[in-house]
């Protein structure tokens, strides 16, 4: 059984449920963007596949 990180689902939660665009308007998160969050999720998923579940 191979593991595949649920990137699309996590991205949906960040953008549609949490409201990442609105959240990034906060001073604490002003340096981040939805694109950067998606890139981090994608790389974390790849790391999970390569390291934790070879």
Q: What pLDDT sits at residue 43? A: 92
Ramachandran angles phi, psi of 21, nearest 5°: -60, -40
Sign of the alpha-carbon torsion through 6, 10, 40, 53: negative
Which parts of the chain fold into alpha helices (H)? 7-12, 20-23, 34-47
The model carries a pTM of 0.71
Q: Express each pLDDT in 4-54 by its tens digit.
A: 888 999 999 988 998 888 888 888 888 888 888 899 999 988 888 777 765
């Amino acid at each position: 059984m191979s593991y595949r990180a649920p990137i699309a689902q996590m991205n949906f939660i960040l953008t549609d449920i949490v409201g990442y665009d609105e959240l990034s308007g906060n001073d604490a998160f002003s340096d981040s963007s939805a694109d950067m969050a998606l890139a981090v999720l994608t790389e974390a998923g790849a790391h999970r596949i390569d390291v934790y579940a070879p």
